[in-house]
Amino acid sequence: MKTRLRRSLRTRLALLAGIAMLLLNIVVSTFVLYGIRDKAADIRALEVSSKALRVLLMVKRNRLPRVLDPSGLDGMQVVDPAGRAVSWTPSLAGKPRQTTAIPHPNQANDVAELCDLPAFPGRCQIVSSLRAYQPDGTWIIYAFDPTVPWYVSPQVITFEICMTAALVALTWFGVSRVVDRTLAPVSSITKRLAEITVGGGGMRVPVPETDDEIRALAETANQTLERLETALEQQEAAMEQQRRFTGDASHDLRSPITAMRAQVEDAMLHPEDTDWQETGSEVLASLDRLQAIVADLLTLTRLDAGAPSPREPVNLGELVVTETARPRTKRVVTSLQGGVVVMGDRLQLARLLTNLLDNAERHAETRIIVTVRRQNGQAVLEVLDDGAGIARDQRDIVFQRFTRLDDSRNRDAGGTGLGLPIAREIAMAHHGTLTIEDSNTGARFVLRIPGPNGPAA
């Protein structure tokens, strides 16, 4: 039972409402009983006084008998000017004067509730007193009747109890129904939430038609589920990308290792016919490729981790001049606007430019064009080759790690397949963008980085 009370909000609220209604009825009933009893006491006092008035008339007419008719009262008593009881009802026969508390001086009549009178021990009486002014002095008529009890009458207290019980029951029933109807949408929401699983996309909780807090709760829950679903989809996509990356990375790491193993095993099978100088050169070439892949992976790991790097003013024109100074197999043409400065890591920006130049060199026919300019508060660096170019639907794919495209631009032409992803990560670390934009010939890589006072990318 205790567990049920703790768990059922409907029961708890109905119980609290019932208790509140009970307490309210007790308070109201107390005031009502007090008012009714007060009124009943006044009526009883008038009745007692009216019966005493008949005795007063008898005194005035000198027709007072020795024994009085009680007329339904507990008793009546007449006291002469000397303070002696001279007339009474049978219940007070021969008994002395019952009280001197009333009437008060200078009052012709008075009514009071008096307790523990000599003739009525342990009881309280409504006592009415009347003065009769006679030639021989003042006579006093007393009339006695029981006081009205606190509950007035059994019928009144029974009515109050029945009314209180009915109101408490009605309150319990009404609150239970209201809470049930109010919490019905919550039950539906709870049931639907219990049905949602990790793989159950598209699940939403029902939104009630009422415009209240529960509707806001349902809408908020749906927004949360939508964000969760989006996050799970993104996580699944990231995990899938990570699996593809792991598979491609393992393949690319195995390739030079397999090549070195085959070269060494072939040399060991025919040591007398092996040109060890040539074999050593081939193994070193495979080691260089393996080392380049590992270095690129470490670079990507540091960029993914968001490792802090020094920031300093870097003049992109001077950086291009420095990086294009070494000989290349394709002609490099530069168009440099002076004073294009960004805040960044010089080594990372140099690595970005080198990766773009290496990629362009592998795929250009005859020349590479490098342009530096300032545009809309941003520093813009372009690397354009005159090769076959990249199809529009593959421009984002080339920035994925270990991406393989068609034979004209695949990474087996000498790269590791990580140069362009590293370049984009460096651009993003500098709050910039690296994209492939339209060009008449070849591939046009465009880097945009906010200048020292320019807008954020």
- Domain identity same for 405 and 391: yes
Which structure tokens are listed for 149? Answer: 């009890």
Q: Distances from the Cα of 214 to the Cαs of 11, 203, 210, 221, in angstroms? A: 19, 18, 8, 10
- Domain identity same for 273 and 350: no
387: left (phi over 0), alpha (psi -120 to 50) or beta: beta
Residue 88 CA to residue 433 CA, distance in Å, equals: 119
Q: If you write DSSP's letter for every residue of 379-410 in order, what string do you get? A: EEEEEEE-SS---GGGTTGGGSTT----GGG-
| Structure confidence at residue 125 (pLDDT) | 93
- Domain identity same for 44 and 27: yes
Q: What are phi and psi of 74, to 5 degrees?
A: -70, -30
Contact 372, 320 (CB under 8 A): yes
Any domain includes 16:
yes
CATH of the domain at 25: 3.30.450
Residue 142 CA to residue 159 CA, distance in Å, equals: 35
3-state secondary structure of 370: strand
- Which residues fall within 8 angstroms of residue 138, CB to CB, at 6 or more apart? 81, 131, 132
Q: What are phi and psi of 54, to 5 degrees?
A: -65, -35
- Domain identity same for 142 and 213: no
- Domain identity same for 395 and 430: yes
The Cα diameter of the chain in Å comes to: 170
Which structure tokens are listed for 307? Answer: 């490792």
Any domain includes 188:
no
Any domain includes 186:
no
The total number of structural domains in the chain stands at 3
- Domain identity same for 302 and 315: no
Say which residue the tokens 């992109």 belong to. 316
**357: burial class by Cβ within 10 Å (0-12, 13-18, 19+)?**
buried
- Domain identity same for 286 and 344: no
- Which residues fall within 8 angstroms of residue 93, CB to CB, at 6 or more apart? 67
Any domain includes 193:
no
- Domain identity same for 289 and 327: no
| Structure confidence at residue 306 (pLDDT) | 66
- Domain identity same for 23 and 47: yes
- Domain identity same for 445 and 320: yes
Task: Give me the numbers of helices (H) and strands (E) for the chain, helices first please.
Answer: 8, 12
3-state secondary structure of 98: coil
Contact 283, 263 (CB under 8 A): yes
Residue 310 CA to residue 69 CA, distance in Å, equals: 120
- Domain identity same for 97 and 15: yes
What Rg, from alpha-carbon coordinates, does the chain have? 54
Q: Give the rounded distance of the alpha carbon of 282 from its chain centre.
A: 65
State the Cα angle at 444 between 443 and 449, rounded to 5°. Answer: 145
Contact 360, 385 (CB under 8 A): yes
Any domain includes 91:
yes
Tell me the pTM.
0.47
Residue at a domain's end among 272, 307, 342: 307
Residue 17 CA to residue 6 CA, distance in Å, equals: 16
| Structure confidence at residue 181 (pLDDT) | 81
Q: Give the rounded distance of the alpha carbon of 386 from its chain centre.
A: 58
Which structure tokens are listed for 35? Answer: 């008012």
Say which residue the tokens 């491609």 belong to. 248
Residue 445 CA to residue 420 CA, distance in Å, equals: 10
Residue 258 CA to residue 167 CA, distance in Å, equals: 90
Residue 449 CA to residue 377 CA, distance in Å, equals: 9
| Structure confidence at residue 409 (pLDDT) | 44
Domain that holds residue 140: 9-155
Any domain includes 161:
no
- What SS3 string covers 49-83? HHHHHHHHHHHHCCCCCCECCCCCCCEEEEECCCC
Residue at a domain's end among 155, 189, 217: 155
- Domain identity same for 264 and 386: no
- From 327, 439, 431, 316, select the one nearest 380 (Cα to Cα): 316
CATH of the domain at 278: 1.10.287.130
Dihedral sign of CA atoms 318, 320, 323, 329 in order: negative
Question: Can you give the pLDDT of all 457 residues of the chain as single tens digits?
Answer: 444 444 577 888 889 999 999 999 999 999 998 899 899 999 999 999 999 999 999 999 989 999 999 989 999 999 999 999 999 999 999 899 999 999 988 888 999 999 999 999 989 999 999 999 998 899 999 999 999 998 888 898 899 999 999 999 999 999 988 888 877 777 777 777 777 765 555 667 777 777 677 778 778 878 887 788 778 777 877 677 677 666 656 656 676 777 778 878 888 887 877 777 888 887 787 787 777 767 767 766 776 666 677 889 999 999 999 888 888 889 999 999 988 999 988 888 988 998 899 888 988 889 999 999 999 889 999 999 988 888 888 888 888 777 656 544 444 445 667 788 888 888 888 899 999 998 888 899 999 998 775 444 3
Residue at a domain's end among 155, 186, 215: 155
Kindly give the residue spans of alpha helices, DSSP state H, lying in 270-345. 276-304, 316-323
Which structure tokens are listed for 394? Answer: 């593959």
Any domain includes 211:
yes
| Structure confidence at residue 414 (pLDDT) | 55
Which structure tokens are listed for 161? Answer: 């109890």
Any domain includes 220:
yes
Residue 175 CA to residue 241 CA, distance in Å, equals: 56
Residue 111 CA to residue 142 CA, distance in Å, equals: 10
